[in-house]
Structure 1
Amino acid sequence: MTDRELRTESDVGSSASLLTLICELARWSHGAAAVSVAIIDGNGLEYVASSGAGADEIVGTRLGAGEGLAGFVAATGQSLAVRDAVSDPRFNREVAERTGYVPNAIQIVPILDADGDVTGVMSMLDRGHHDDVPNDPPFALPGFADLAAALLTRSQPDGGRVVEVARRLDEMSSRDRGAALTAISAVLDAIAR
């Protein structure tokens, strides 16, 4: 396998706990209700990792090609932010209801391999807007998506976006930053293998 090839299904399964860790870090740093990762598998998407509301229910869920907001992002490679998800005709309410959590707002970014091809998507539901959540620029979530891409494809994450992840780490308390750095180190060690 070359550095640019997507890992096999068994590799993705063995990486699921690290992808979940990336989801947890993204969810915590954005104050979101949930963050999930879905990978392109055959003719659709399969959710392989999640943290937060509905996490256990969404993992293993499959969507057809182009289905729902996540399918749109996977098909087009365009990031998407929707403030009123249920009003968007692309929103798959049935899937949301099965998880037990129907979001108001959703942000979805593509997970890209080293060639710029979409290998999956990272979704964030109902990002927090309270005082203890740092104000994040639009490229903060893609920084976490780059970490997921690096794990899935064994490529190097985009430096500029990872700098944004580092900025968010700098805003954390020293205790939380230590835990986050330990988690990120585990992900980077897995990428290096």
Structure 2
Amino acid sequence: MRHRYPRTAAPVPDEFAVRERFARLPEQAPPDMVNLLVLLRFEGLDARAAPAREAMLDYARRARECGGRVVDQDADQLLVCLADMRWALQSLRNLLALARRDGFAVRAAIVQAVLARAGAAPESGGFTARTLETLLRLAGEVGRQQVGITPKLLSLIQLAAPEFADLFETADTAAHRLLGGARPQPVLVMAG
């Protein structure tokens, strides 16, 4: 016997309307659609390390207040997971200006936070090995008063926070050419 399923009254969506709707999604996406993993290194430029330490503690506090999570904190390093891309980029821009004004240095790297398994909490540190490798590579390549990102993250920034995209430029690749090493992907930096 053949089962008959009742017909629904729901109309079949127009293919053009569906495509148009999905084309607009990045602009309408909530700020927490992409989590960012940010590694910050703070350095005192003179004998006093207090301004750098105070700035690190203040950044950790503000990150928590905006809905971010401190994944790890060390004497001069801070690893945070942030859900709001605009807040993350503006806060890093402000931090670079503060560092320049108060006499300390900041080096930062940002990657898209990809969890190793579904349901893992960002505060537990369950990120993929590739996420962490990319983050550490970027952190090693940025100079003082710089924030490093990958071209992939720049594409996401262009969609979610386009006003910040022009702040990033390609980093100098001379060191890699001298060593004869091939860079896995270019580094883009926002200098402060």
* TM-score normalised per structure 1: 0.29
Larger radius of gyration: 2
TM-score where L is the length of structure 2:
0.29
